[in-house]
Amino acid sequence: MCGIAGIRRFDGTPVDRELLAQMARQLEHRGPDDHGLWIDGSIGFAHTRLSIIDLSGSLQPMEGASGRTHIAFNGEILNYRQLRSALSYPFRTDGDTEVLLALYESSGASSVDRLRGQFAYAIHDSNTDETHLFRDRLGILPLYYYTDSKMFAFASEIKALLPVLPSTAVDEASLHDYLAHRSVPAPYTFIEGVRKVPQGHHLVVAPDGSVRSEAYWELPREPSLLKVSPSEAVNLVDEALTASVRDALVADVPVGAYLSGGLDSSLITALVAQERHGAALHTFSAGFGDDRMDETVWARKVAEIVGSEHHEVEVTAEDFQSNWSRLSWHRDAPLSEPADVAVFRLAQLAREHVKVVLSGEGSDELFGGYPKYRYAGITRWSGAVPGAALNRLEGTLPADKARLGVAMRAISEPNYAERMRGWFAPFTTAERDSLLGRAAERSVLDPYRNGRGDGLRRMLYADAHTWLADNLLERGDRMSMAASLELRPPFLDHRLVELAFSLPSNVKVRRGRGKWVVKEVARQHLPAEVVDRKKIGFQVPLDAWFRGGLRDMAFDLLTDPSSFVGSRFDRASVARLLEDHSSGGRNEQPRIWTLLSLEVWHRELKRRLDQTA
């Protein structure tokens, strides 16, 4: 993968070359192998390259054969060879970048429909004087922009936009969103005026400065289910996932796999080994020195089964303290999950051996892997239960009943959309209003309202648009790119995603077991002991760390009146959270993490901005 950036001015002023280069320098970690600029009067593109395909060619920004198109491209088009073979075009390179130019010159912007892979790219067409931005269907790769009456600017990461922004103030309306999601849902961000291109969208920037955004691909809102038996569903998923893994191995550099020992990464690793027919394979896992959450023994078992060369890293509380600030800078936002730091350490380890890794991201959100999905029906129809009574009862639960508390908090929310959101929300609607002293200024609940079908399908639809796109995929991209490593999630091939949403819910959650169809696929490639063991997940033992080495850090940062959190949130409520957790009476780790991560990010943002002032 790479980094892209660009400026388009509407006032006739030429693009400042040094300003564009400054934007590109903020993206060097995304592309340490090469860099380039293209400027033509009032428009300019920048590119930093991590070479994966056509290593010695395909330099960017690239000009099309007609001379009228220019591109800055981040990503991989996994079917580029098939597309290339069907095009009549005077190719000068052997990579996928030029295929995008050839497609655009032959079919226009609609050619994005023919792509498979993960991508974010910009094309300027000098004939129409329009600039086009595209983001892949699921939002695997990032793309941000800022626009005003004088200019339009875009970049792979927000930090690359900071040099052109008139203000770097925090968007205060995003605080409510963050307390509900641990991230800011598209199209918003934490920085005033900066927006995300939503997943599966195409933006057109016209010469007059107007910006038009439209979806070129969407998950179907209404269910259109295949009439298949459970065994037929297993075969369909097996075939689609195998094809996706095969495509994801397209590269001119070594490709490895993350192997946590869990179901999804173990299945992906087994399929990779199958496709490589005995060729060398590197696998990678992280441990935390905590027996409650350690899956490395299972990762080693799977590595032995598939014959991979396995590597491990242990993540400690000290890793969090030493990396938290700089990774917040890489994330351009608070770290939404404690596992962000662990994912970065894993990426560092992998980068010592390969340039590309495959991961199991997306399986839970497509096939119902989280425990909450078993309660999708209850979530939909539980509105009659008095929320205030549930909140009072939840407040009396001891620390070891934290999971029950999560369910009670979600079900206590005032409407169906909020109840769906509540399962992953660190703070309830009432708590958010109380902490900030005001209600939310805007609603970002559309993904929770737009999906149709049964309760499970609605929940999966919402999570694919929010939790997956704005949390997990952002984390995966930023933490891997911080180590200059490309991450590919085969479960998110759009063909497999479309198949998943066409399957009936009873092959996803079946007899109380989540992800049933994926487990049955895995059973064809892995031993039963790997498939049927209890799910642990990629968890970090922060509950203990916040009572130990991180306790003083949390108190100092969150209770300081001059802190960002101290100036924006009710300090008495924050202090009560810390005391309740420290005493061992309650497990407030998710809420402490959410606030502390916000504080760490804001301090690091301010420090970096002060350095460049």
Is residue 205 one of the residues assigned to a domain? yes
pLDDT at residue 35 above 90?
yes
Is residue 110 one of the residues assigned to a domain? yes
DSSP characters over 288-316? -S-TTT--HHHHHHHHHHHT-EEEEEE--
Distance CA 83, CA 86 (A): 5
- Any known ligand binding at 96? yes
Is residue 289 one of the residues assigned to a domain? no
Is residue 496 one of the residues assigned to a domain? no
603-611: long-range contacts (C-beta < 8 A, 24 or more apart)? 603/325, 603/557, 603/563, 603/564, 604/325, 604/326, 604/328, 604/329, 605/168, 605/328, 605/329, 607/325, 608/159, 608/329, 609/162, 609/168
As given in the structure block, the two tokens for residue 18 are 């040094």
566-574: long-range contacts (C-beta < 8 A, 24 or more apart)? 568/172, 568/175, 568/436, 569/435, 569/436, 569/595, 570/434, 570/435, 570/436, 570/437, 573/431, 573/434, 573/435, 574/435
- Any known ligand binding at 369? no
Lowest model confidence (mean pLDDT) among 156-160, 403-407, 534-538: 534-538
What pLDDT, on a 0 to 100 scale, did the predictor assign at position 56? Answer: 74
pLDDT at residue 297 above 60?
yes
Lowest model confidence (mean pLDDT) among 58-62, 552-556, 562-566: 552-556
- Is residue 46 helix, strand or coil? strand
What pLDDT, on a 0 to 100 scale, did the predictor assign at position 57? Answer: 77
Mean pLDDT, all residues of the chain: 92
As given in the structure block, the two tokens for residue 480 are 């891997």
pLDDT at residue 294 above 80?
no
Count of structural domains, the chain:
1
Is residue 25 one of the residues assigned to a domain? yes
pLDDT per residue over 330-381, tens digit each? Answer: 999 999 887 899 899 999 999 999 999 999 999 999 999 999 999 998 888 7
Which stretch of DSSP H or E encloses residue 213? Answer: strand 211-215
pLDDT category at 51 given cuts 50, 70, 90 is: confident
What pLDDT, on a 0 to 100 scale, did the predictor assign at position 416? Answer: 94
Lowest model confidence (mean pLDDT) among 277-281, 443-447, 465-469: 277-281
2 belongs to the catalytic site: yes
Distance CA 374, CA 7 (A): 47
Domain CATH code at residue 9: 3.60.20.10
pLDDT per residue over 409-427, tens digit each? Answer: 898 898 999 999 999 999 9
Is residue 454 one of the residues assigned to a domain? no
Q: Mean per-residue pLDDT for 473-494?
A: 97
Spot the catalytic one: 2, 281, 376, 565. Answer: 2
Distance CA 79, CA 124 (A): 23
Domain span at residue 36 reads 2-215
Is residue 36 one of the residues assigned to a domain? yes
pLDDT category at 391 given cuts 50, 70, 90 is: low
- Is residue 115 helix, strand or coil? coil
pLDDT at residue 384 above 80?
no
Distance CA 96, CA 77 (A): 6
Q: Which amino acid is at 147?
A: T
Distance CA 1, CA 118 (A): 9
Give Cα 363 distance to the centre of its chain: 13
Give the residue ranges of DSSP H helices in 125-224: 173-181
What pLDDT, on a 0 to 100 scale, did the predictor assign at position 506? Answer: 97
Write the CB contacts of 202 (distance below 8 Å, at least 6 apart in sequence): 109, 112, 132, 133, 134, 213, 214, 215, 216
Rounded to two decimals, the pTM is 0.94
More confident residue, 46 or 296: 46
